[in-house]
Structure 1
Amino acid sequence: MAVSLREYRARIKSTESMKKITRAMELIAASRIIKAQQRAQAAAPYARELTRAVSAVATFSNVDHPLTKEEDNPVKAAVLIVTSDRGLAGAYSGSVLKEGERLFERLREEGKDVDVFVAGRKGEAYFKFRNRPVVKSWTGFSDQPSYEVAAEIGEALIEAFLKDQGEEGDVDEVHVVYTRFRSMLVQEPTAVRLLPLEIIEGEEAPDAAEALPLYEFEPSPESVLDGLLPQYVQSRIFFALLQAAASELAARQKAMKSATDNAEELIKKYTRIANQARQAGITQEISEIVGGVNALADANAAND
């Protein structure tokens, strides 16, 4: 029993050390998630209004721009999957990778090949382990993304999209798979098509009482779109990265809280078993002493 008791005490000590680590990681994630959530909320109005502006220019200028042109027979699509750089975030990366696999399957059913772009070490390791090619990957920023990284990703995707069909590395569509932050309890894997740009502003006739906006393009609609569309793509990617960062921190906080709670239950379990083992050891020692005393008394009685 003494050996078993020492073993349980060692397990209790190691579990307490693990509990301190998970509790610290929970507090770190909780302290960072507020800032990440605020960044995502602050970027939302800009992304929304920029999308409206680009859509309005594309609608009312009647310009056939390469980034808004639909291919008659699209044969290849690029998919950017946004995952985390570190683990200990529950099913966060696994969920977005599953959503990406569903998108791959849907695109292949439509007869399109898929080029994979990855943000985050977890996604990079996922495809490397399965010996599946990745065109380009970006790592080291998942919980604190910057606009510079979003601009770099956007430039790579736009470059692939603008290549002529049949040219090496060309794609006809660009999709992004990321985790949308709904609340601290809900993070939703989402797949959206980024390019070609889908026109949001309608062309139907408005009501008589509705005021129509007047647009004047300087120096030309083509130049305006040339300047706006890259900004649009980069801002959408930056917004996706910010949403993913907030979702990652929320998932990590939940996972670490669950791990801390499980460690507490495990400590209680080991403590109870250790107490039982200690009591069993004491009982056995008392029984051995009583037995020895009785045997000695019987021997003395026999000698008398």
Structure 2
Amino acid sequence: MAGQQRVYRQRIRATQSLKKIFRAMELIAASRIGKARARVASATPYAQAITRAISAAALHSDVEHPLTSERDDTNKVALLVISADRGMAGAYSANVIRESERLRGRLEGEGKEVVQFAAGRRAVSYFTFRRRELAGQWTGESDSPARETATEIANALFARFAAEADEGGVSEIHLVYTRFKSMVTQEPRVIRLLPLEIVEGVTEVEEGEVPPLYEFEPSPDEVLDALLPRYIESRIYAALLHSAASELANRQRAMNTATSNAEDIIRNYTRLANQARQSEITQEISEIVSGADALAAS
């Protein structure tokens, strides 16, 4: 019985230590989520505005441009996956990696070769373990991304898109990240950055309507060339901010659940330890009474 009490007390102490860690991580995530949400709110309007602007410019210009033109000289496509650097965030990284695997399977089913890029140690570890070559990887800033990192990623992807086929050029750029909708809802999202697939806020001119008049200075090609790098960078930066807020929200929720589970385990082991102690006391009393009866009988 004494041995059982010792085991239960050790488990209680170990669980209490874990509970402190879970609680600390929950508080850290809670303290950072406000800033992360504010950064998402401030960056999203710009990303949407530049997407609408470049979509309108591409739609109403009569030039062939890489922004909207499909390349047929290569079957390679770039795929960027944004995950977390650390664990203890529930199924956050697993969900976005699972979504990227679905996209990869669909692309390979269409006969395309995927050139993999990854941001976040979880995604890097996942692809490295499966011996998949990474054309680019970025780690260390998943919960607080810098603008410079977004610029570096955008330059690497755009360089692949602009390269010739025999130099490793790709025909498409796909992005998989987690969109932050609220503290309760975060969803993996797949978008195609290039060629532009979804035109937000811009529609085709219907029959009978007067089309908008656009004047390009100095020329449509130069305007689109200038907007294209800004478009890619803004979309990637917005995706990084959404992913950071989603990671913190998932971590706060996961650590809150872990703290509650630790409290339940502590209560359970405390009850078992008390039962073991009561059993030990009962046994000692029985031995004393039995000994006294034996002495009285003799």
Change (3 A) 1:47 1:207: farther
- Tell me the residue number matched to 1:255: 254
Change (3 A) 1:131 1:72: closer
RMSD between aligned alpha carbons? 1.5
Alignment pair present for 1:285 and 2:264:
no
The one-letter code of the counterpart of 2:46 is Y
Deviation at 1:136, TM superposition (A): 1.0
The one-letter code of the counterpart of 1:282 is I
Q: Whole-Å Cα distance in 2 between the matches of residues 252 and 149 of structure 1?
A: 23
The one-letter code of the counterpart of 1:95 is N
Q: Whole-Å Cα distance in 1 between the matches of residues 21 and 198 of structure 2?
A: 49
Alignment pair present for 1:272 and 2:282:
no
- Tell me the residue number matched to 1:94: 94
Alignment pair present for 1:244 and 2:243:
yes
- Tell me the residue number matched to 1:297: 296
Deviation at 1:146, TM superposition (A): 1.3
Matching of residues 14-33 of structure 1 within 5 Å: 14-33=14-33
Change (3 A) 1:207 1:253: farther
Whether the 8 Å contact between 1:145 and 1:242 is mirrored in structure 2 is yes
Deviation at 1:202, TM superposition (A): 3.0
Whether the 8 Å contact between 2:72 and 2:171 is mirrored in structure 1 is no
Q: Whole-Å Cα distance in 1 between the matches of residues 21 and 230 of structure 2?
A: 41
SS of equivalent to 1:20: helix
SS of equivalent to 2:167: coil
Alignment pair present for 1:198 and 2:197:
yes
Matching of residues 1-304 of structure 1 within 5 Å: 1-72=1-72, 75-165=75-165, 167-198=166-197, 200=199, 201-205=202-206, 213-299=212-298
Deviations 1:184-205 (A, max 9, x none): 1221111111111237233323
Deviation at 1:22, TM superposition (A): 0.2
Change (3 A) 1:204 1:215: closer
| TM-score using structure 1 length | 0.93
Change (3 A) 1:161 1:297: same
Deviations 1:173-222 (A, max 9, x none): 000000111221221111111111237233323765x7x64432222222
Q: Whole-Å Cα distance in 1 between the matches of residues 239 and 249 of structure 2?
A: 15
Q: Whole-Å Cα distance in 1 between the matches of residues 184 and 58 of structure 2?
A: 38
Q: Identify unmatched segments of 5+ residues in structure 2.
A: none
Q: Whole-Å Cα distance in 2 between the matches of residues 8 and 43 of structure 1?
A: 51
Deviation at 1:248, TM superposition (A): 0.5
The share of aligned pairs that are identical, in percent, is 58
Q: Whole-Å Cα distance in 1 between the matches of residues 291 and 277 of structure 2?
A: 21
Whether the 8 Å contact between 2:58 and 2:67 is mirrored in structure 1 is no
Flag the structure with larger Rg.
1
Of 197-206 and 38-47, deviating more is 197-206
Q: Whole-Å Cα distance in 1 between the matches of residues 203 and 2 of structure 2?
A: 79
| TM-score using structure 2 length | 0.95
Deviations 1:61-115 (A, max 9, x none): 2222223321246511110000100011111111111000000100011110101
Deviations 1:144-190 (A, max 9, x none): 0111111110110010011122x132111000000111221221111
Q: Whole-Å Cα distance in 2 between the matches of residues 199 and 192 of structure 1?
A: 8
Q: Identify unmatched segments of 5+ residues in structure 1.
A: 300-304
The one-letter code of the counterpart of 2:250 is A
Deviation at 1:253, TM superposition (A): 0.8
Deviations 1:249-272 (A, max 9, x none): 111111101110110000000000
The one-letter code of the counterpart of 1:185 is V
Whether the 8 Å contact between 2:180 and 2:187 is mirrored in structure 1 is yes
Q: Whole-Å Cα distance in 2 between the matches of residues 203 and 18 of structure 1?
A: 58
SS of equivalent to 1:289: helix
Q: Whole-Å Cα distance in 2 between the matches of residues 78 and 213 of structure 1?
A: 34
- Tell me the residue number matched to 1:302: none
SS of equivalent to 1:66: coil
Of 215-224 and 29-38, deviating more is 215-224
